[in-house]
Structure 1
Amino acid sequence: MEKELYIATNNGDMGGGEVMLLNIARAARSLGYKVTIVGPSEPKQLVEAAADEGFARVVLPAKNRVQYMAALRSWHARHKDVLLWCNGLVPATATGGRKNRIVHLHQLPTGVNAKLVPFARHKASVTLVPSRYVARACPGSELFANWVSGVSTELDHRVGERRLRVGYLGRLTPSKGIATLCQAMSSLNSNGIKYDLVIGGEPVFASDEERAEVEDALARVATFSTRLGWTTPDRLFGDIDMLVVPSIAPESFGLVVAEAMSARVPVIVSDAGALSEVLGGTSYPYVVPADQPVALAQAIKSLGTELREDTEALAERTSELFWRWQENYSPEAGKVRVGEILERFIR
């Protein structure tokens, strides 16, 4: 008899959690499980993406989150015999208090959401979180790190005497630290342009006030920056010498950090949340205090010196991070983790 797994999405549109949902679904299917994706009819991006990859789907009629949660709870009442992987707090809360569930929290719940967690986890088989940082706030949870596909770039990152290219990839919002990065870059270029800034991303999920703040910061670096809009890691990493992840709000993981590791692109991160954890801990030399442009500028300058001198230490560190990605955050590593979880709860 074929073993079945149902995965309920957190959102109907595509975000980091939904990317992970599809990663989990692919891994489970490759292990021989029959996978069905459960999601709302609107937004429909997730269920359409699932269909494109050949997954069976349960599309619940819903135009908003409340309708989706009600429809999911009703559906689950009729399917309690199958294992349901709740991919986020929304499906976990919708099915709270019921057995035969995996609760997978991708973010550290805060505010009102934090109050929902006890009910969402009640009677669940296990609660999975992406980092030790999140696990400390969720006693009894288990570490289940995210993973990313490898990104290929040229292995020769020598820069010679040209201007160094500093990259950013992510949402253009204040919480992601883009304004801090702009301040740091302005400082570095105050006596002549020595660094170019290459920016990938758009101001999604930002208020009008936040958009205005970000646009003001970006205007100040316009003479030495390039905005790519939404782009892929492959495209961005091929155009930069280093990646900066300057988040101010705590991060529960750091997908773009893992992608940079896979591409052997040197990376600087803030100390917000789990970013340094992905890199192996605070002993990594390029972890800077969040929202501190002076410290960030110094880190960019120091890493730039290593790049220009093509140091052995930089080469060794980059190689170590690549193998850390391979062993911990690659699709192969993720497949092993999915298999271990499903073997415990699907007989």
Structure 2
Amino acid sequence: MRIDLAADHDAMGGSEMMMLLAAQACVELGHDATVWVPTETGEVAREADRRGLTVRGVGARGNASYMRRLRAGTARSDADVLWCHGLRPSFATAGLPRRIAHVYQRPRPLQRPALKRALRGADAVVVPSHSMADIAPNTHVLWNWCEPIDAPETVHEGPLSVGYLGRLSMEKGLGVLTDALAELPDTELVLAGTPRFVISSERRIIEQALDRVADRTDRLGWVTASELFDRIDVLAVPPVWQEPFGQSVIEAMSAGVPLIVSDAGALGEVTGDDYPLCVAAGDARSLAAAIQAVAALTHEQLQGLTRRLHHRWEKHFSPDAGRRRVAALLDQLT
């Protein structure tokens, strides 16, 4: 089977990484896969090339140009399936045959008309979690997955190091986390990420929140999950919005890093309903209590927790698990 996979952006983000993993899964299943991107010099194209994937850039100059050229190019393609990763390519190719519309985030109110058009005529509408299954009738849930990440080897001494991984934003719970840590003087915050795609007014609010713990915060910028995990004792993922999946959660599970999540969106679905370190979204006191609970765990208790997380990753969120789900999705279309 010949499969075209269309990117949402030229820059690497969550949906772009999942598109590349999906393309690799298609190739491993014996299919011919081509990744369509705005330009052949962007981040996504370079990463696809590094992974040995076939790349097709459309020479776009901006979003409107990309959508026009993507529609024209994929309409002429002889591929058996067009798999659109994100709202932009799904909207651009609305109505084309043999099409998968993969929606990674719950649409905001102003995006709902675009989503309605984007899903028109799709052979499958794919979402990353059951918590998002209500965005359209007959959605197909395809959990994300991630590549294996080695367990950290460093044994930390001194204050408990609490990690944060991803876009710096208030909806991701950064304000709740700084509120919690402000009540825990024997902790430090290790930030991996930047306020990419965040408007300037929210950036000021983020900086005000970080000022509360600035004297014990280490800001790493954009680094790999592995680089962060080598520096921390526990990862906090405390979003206050309806998190559609939680990629950093499964990365921590792969590496066997202790993890605290909020109950927002899909996070409970990813960790399992009975996960003990799940707190109410937006509740800084509960988050602080969970951080203290991690600090009080014995070595044996920590090992038991991380073994449990890694086993769940291996069963549900490893490349093997992802490849099986891709095969099942493609089988639906044949």
TM-score (norm 2): 0.93
| Equivalent residue pairs, number | 334
SS of the residue corresponding to residue 276 of structure 2 reads coil
* 8 Å contact from structure 2 (residues 2, 79) kept in 1: no
Q: 1:15-54: CA deviations, max 9, x gaps?
A: 1000001101111111221111112128722223223333
User: Do structure 1's residue 107 and structure 2's residue 98 form an aligned pair?
Assistant: no
CA distance in structure 1 between the partners assigned to 2:30 and 2:211 by the alignment: 52
**CA RMSD across the alignment:** 2.0
SS of the residue corresponding to residue 325 of structure 2 reads helix
Counterpart residue number, 2:264: 272
Look up the equivalent residue of 2:312 and give its one-letter code: R
User: Do structure 1's residue 320 and structure 2's residue 308 form an aligned pair?
Assistant: yes
Note the C-alpha offset of 1:81: 5.6
CA distance in structure 1 between the partners assigned to 2:42 and 2:231 by the alignment: 33
Note the C-alpha offset of 1:318: 2.4
Counterpart residue number, 1:335: 323
* 8 Å contact from structure 1 (residues 43, 63) kept in 2: no
Look up the equivalent residue of 1:225 and give its one-letter code: T
Q: Among residues 157, 163, 184, which one is paired with 2:159 in the alignment?
A: 163
User: Do structure 1's residue 310 and structure 2's residue 310 form an aligned pair?
Assistant: no
Counterpart residue number, 2:188: 196
Counterpart residue number, 2:73: 75
SS of the residue corresponding to residue 56 of structure 2 reads strand
Q: 1:244-292: CA deviations, max 9, x gaps?
A: 01112221101100011111111111122111211012x3222212222
Look up the equivalent residue of 2:134 and give its one-letter code: R
Counterpart residue number, 2:254: 262
Look up the equivalent residue of 1:172 and give its one-letter code: L
Look up the equivalent residue of 1:145 and give its one-letter code: W
Note the C-alpha offset of 1:84: 0.5
Q: 1:205-247: CA deviations, max 9, x gaps?
A: 1222222211122222122221111111111111111110111
User: Do structure 1's residue 289 and structure 2's residue 289 form an aligned pair?
Assistant: no
* 8 Å contact from structure 2 (residues 40, 55) kept in 1: no
Look up the equivalent residue of 1:237 and give its one-letter code: F
Look up the equivalent residue of 2:181 and give its one-letter code: M
Q: Among residues 173, 176, 179, which one is paired with 1:180 in the alignment?
A: 176
Look up the equivalent residue of 1:234 and give its one-letter code: S
CA distance in structure 2 between the partners assigned to 1:156 and 1:280 by the alignment: 27
Look up the equivalent residue of 1:22 and give its one-letter code: L
Question: Relative to structure 2, which stretch is displaced further, 272-281 or 315-324?
Answer: 315-324
Look up the equivalent residue of 1:136 and give its one-letter code: D
Q: 1:117-151: CA deviations, max 9, x gaps?
A: 23222222211110000113332101100001121
Mark the CA change 1:154 to 1:14 in structure 2 (over 3 Å): closer, same or farther.
closer
CA distance in structure 2 between the partners assigned to 1:253 and 1:115 by the alignment: 23
CA distance in structure 2 between the partners assigned to 1:226 and 1:47 by the alignment: 31
* 8 Å contact from structure 2 (residues 3, 79) kept in 1: no
Look up the equivalent residue of 2:167 and give its one-letter code: R
Counterpart residue number, 1:298: 289
* 8 Å contact from structure 2 (residues 24, 53) kept in 1: no
Q: Among residues 229, 233, 236, which one is paired with 2:228 in the alignment?
A: 236
Note the C-alpha offset of 1:56: 2.2
CA distance in structure 2 between the partners assigned to 1:227 and 1:264 by the alignment: 22
Q: 1:40-85: CA deviations, max 9, x gaps?
A: 1287222232233332222213211112111122223323663101
Note the C-alpha offset of 1:186: 1.0
Look up the equivalent residue of 1:61 and give its one-letter code: G
* 8 Å contact from structure 1 (residues 251, 274) kept in 2: yes
* 8 Å contact from structure 1 (residues 80, 100) kept in 2: no
Runs of at least 5 residues in structure 1 that lack an aligned partner in the other structure: none
Note the C-alpha offset of 1:333: 0.8
Note the C-alpha offset of 1:317: 3.2
Q: Among residues 11, 30, 33, which one is paired with 2:9 in the alignment?
A: 11
TM-score (norm 1): 0.90
Mark the CA change 1:108 to 1:315 in structure 2 (over 3 Å): closer, same or farther.
same
Of the two, which has the highest radius of gyration? 1
User: Do structure 1's residue 218 and structure 2's residue 218 form an aligned pair?
Assistant: no
Note the C-alpha offset of 1:156: 8.3
